[in-house]
A and B are shown apart, each in its own frame.
Chain A
Amino acid sequence: MADRAVDASPPNTAPKAAPKIETRHVSKVYDTAAGPMTAVDDFSLDVADGEFVCIVGPSGCGKSTYLRMLAGLDTHSSGTILIRPGEDPKKPLNSVVFQEYAVFPWKTVIENVAFGLQMRGYAKAERLQIADYWLERVGLRKFAQYYPYQISGGMKQRVSIIRALANDPEVLLMDEPLGALDAQTRIVLQDELLRIWEETRKTVVYITHSLDEAILLGDRVILMTAHPGRLLATFNIGIERPRTVATMNTPEFTELRGEIWGQLSREVTRAMEMQA
């Protein structure tokens, strides 16, 4: 299959300053009993400091694998991955918001939020104070002493998001964080994410299978092909910030979505045919 990347000038869209995240020619090959299986193939992506990048692709395109490699939770077979440390060397390089929340059921809400700080040796009073600040910010303060089974899915994902933010990482990595939520809760959390990002301006890599979500949240949308995962196209989203969920109703948004969907739908169809 020929490489159909549209905006194919690797490293793609190099920003002016040194990029926060630098990935060059990254591949991931699994050794299976049936021979080597390529999950991610020659994937290059730079992310600027303070940029919000969304990666969209059909299921099984290796986007979650890429994120785990970025997070250091999985090894890559070839290529280079670099997250540039900031001025404060004690700050963690990345924190992940996982797909199924991954909020620890055996810790209370506030203990969950303070977990990263606890692991980094913060004193109890200090870490609880920081956690409390973030709980206040997403309106979960009165649930601080609850256990996860006592709160809803939407609240659990809020806890998971502020657990990452309380850790104050250089880069925030989000793996389909809203994928498991119902449509209404999802919209509410999209709005909340936009608001929080507007205030913190973290560097974010956001994996999603929802094109709408990617266009709404991202400065850039990266499309990936499936089997193996390759870079298909990059789209700069020029929609003005601050955005809200209402942004999805603007003609600008609809036009962009139509353009990107044209490319993505072919890829989705191809992925479905390959699975059949």
Chain B
Amino acid sequence: MSGSAGKSPQAAAGPLAAVMFLGAAVLLWNGVLYIAALWGRFWWVALLGNFTLIVLAAERIGRSVPPAHRKLYERTLAFGFPLLALIAWQLIVDAGLLSPLWFPQPTKIAKALWDTAVNYDRFSETSLIGRPWLIPSRFMEEGWTGVWKLFAESHVWATLGRVGAGFAIGAVPGILLGVVMGVNRTVRLMLDTTLSAIYVLPKIAIFPIVMLLFADPFGEGPKIAVVALSVFFLMTINTMAGVRDIDPVFLMAGRNYGARGFSLLRHVIIPAALPVIFAGLRLALGTALIVIISVEFLRAKQGVGFMTFYYWEVLNPEKMYAGLVVVMVLGVVLTYGLQALQHRLMPWQR
């Protein structure tokens, strides 16, 4: 302890000099490559060099961070690097090294995102989030129908609705069947092969058939159904694995203390399998988003996937990227929601 305290003034000066040196190296590296007109052709060498220098600088700083600020340092790394990457993207496109047509600058994407959020697209008769600031005036004019029309024009609400409905319709029966298959050997043997075969089938490939099963093939039914199907198989297989993985000693304890049938399910099997069930739900959420975006690419008049593809077709790359950003934001928000639910339902986990 005393040794490190004695060294601290020197240690504080040490990293500063080293980091300044490394920062100068970054500038020099890029400057030389740029002036020699090599940056464009050997961009991957340039990026690799930059990345290495940044890692070295970050590690040099990391070594002298006191334990009290460790968390702050790690958070800075986790959020600072993506920010840095965005700035690099901006600079590279500004410098003309990448085509702004296919890789529009992050600032332009942000502006496009803002535009789609506040404006109504007359051609496709949609808006991004349904212009919630119009709710009071529309309510005065048309009542609830007016409010509903606003929701109905939104890409985000369309996608969220499909994912939410498909998720619920698929996950609940999936979990139930998974529990039955985990508990009952006969049912498991009968269904396992079939389920494994259907599970690996990309659900988007059966979308045409699903469309035919509905009275309105272009309506919401088939879209929700295909999300539900992919979630269902994933949850069945995951839940079954979770139930089969339960430490037998918990089942023995449950039985020895008088739990039978439903009470064994409620007090032992379900809670014991819950961590794996939630891991499955998280995977299913990702799959549900993939499926719904693909379906919206194919057949939709609305939705975040539709929006992305639509702006690609009308050659508006900024807005296309904006669509991708919205998908990512949806993914993050929904994952956080799922985690919050998990913490609520499983307070016994660290």
Decide yes or no whether A192 CB sits under 8 A from chain B. no
The interface residues of chain A lying within 8 Å CB-to-CB of B57 are none
The interface residues of chain A lying within 8 Å CB-to-CB of B46 are none
Is A116's CB under 8 angstroms from B347's CB?
A: no
| Majority SS at the chain A contact face | loop
Nearest CB in chain B: distance from A69 CB, A:
12
By CB atoms of chain A within 10 A, which of B249, B263, B347, B349 has the most? Answer: B249
The interface residues of chain B lying within 8 Å CB-to-CB of A147 are 347-348
Among the stretches B66-74, B148-156, B252-260, the one at the interface with A is B252-260
Decide yes or no whether A71 CB sits under 8 A from chain B. yes
By CB atoms of chain B within 10 A, which of A115, A119, A167 has the most? Answer: A119
Decide yes or no whether A20 CB sits under 8 A from chain B. no
Query: Contact partner of A119 among B249, B252, B258, CB < 8 A?
Result: B258
- A96-B256, A106-B271, A167-B257 known; A148 vs B348 contact (CB < 8 Å): yes
- Bound together, the chains give a CA A111 to CA B327 distance in angstroms of 43
Query: Contact partner of B348 among A118, A149, A167, CB < 8 A?
Result: A149
- A92-B258, A119-B259 known; A149 vs B253 contact (CB < 8 Å): no
Decide yes or no whether B272 CB sits under 8 A from chain A. yes
Query: Contact partner of A120 among B258, B268, B272, B347, CB < 8 A?
Result: B258
Query: Contact partner of B249 among A92, A94, A98, A116, CB < 8 A?
Result: A98
The interface residues of chain A lying within 8 Å CB-to-CB of B259 are 119
The interface residues of chain A lying within 8 Å CB-to-CB of B258 are 92, 116, 119-120
**What size tier do the contact residues of chain B reach?**
20 to 34
* A108 closest partner in B (C-beta): B348
Decide yes or no whether B63 CB sits under 8 A from chain A. no
A residues contacting the other copy or chain, number (CB 8 A): 27
Decide yes or no whether A133 CB sits under 8 A from chain B. no
Query: Contact partner of B271 among A102, A104, A116, CB < 8 A?
Result: A104
Is A98's CB under 8 angstroms from B253's CB?
A: yes
Is A149's CB under 8 angstroms from B257's CB?
A: no
Decide yes or no whether A13 CB sits under 8 A from chain B. no
Nearest CB in chain A: distance from B250 CB, A:
6
- A98-B252, A104-B268, A106-B274 known; A119 vs B348 contact (CB < 8 Å): no
The interface residues of chain A lying within 8 Å CB-to-CB of B253 are 96, 98, 102, 104
Decide yes or no whether A99 CB sits under 8 A from chain B. yes
Is A102's CB under 8 angstroms from B274's CB?
A: no
Tell me the residues in window 198-257 of chain B with beta carbons closer than 8 Å to chain A beta carbons: 247, 249-250, 252-253, 255-257
Q: What are 22 A-B pairs at a CB distance below 8 A? A: A68-B252, A72-B256, A73-B255, A92-B258, A94-B256, A95-B256, A95-B257, A96-B253, A98-B249, A98-B253, A99-B249, A102-B247, A102-B253, A104-B250, A104-B271, A105-B348, A106-B272, A106-B348, A107-B348, A108-B348, A148-B348, A149-B348
The 8 closest A-B pairs by CB, nearest first: A119-B258, A106-B271, A116-B257, A102-B253, A147-B348, A102-B249, A106-B348, A96-B256
Q: A71-B256, A102-B249, A148-B348 are in contact. List 5 more A-B contacts (CB 8 A).
A: A98-B253, A106-B271, A107-B348, A116-B258, A119-B258
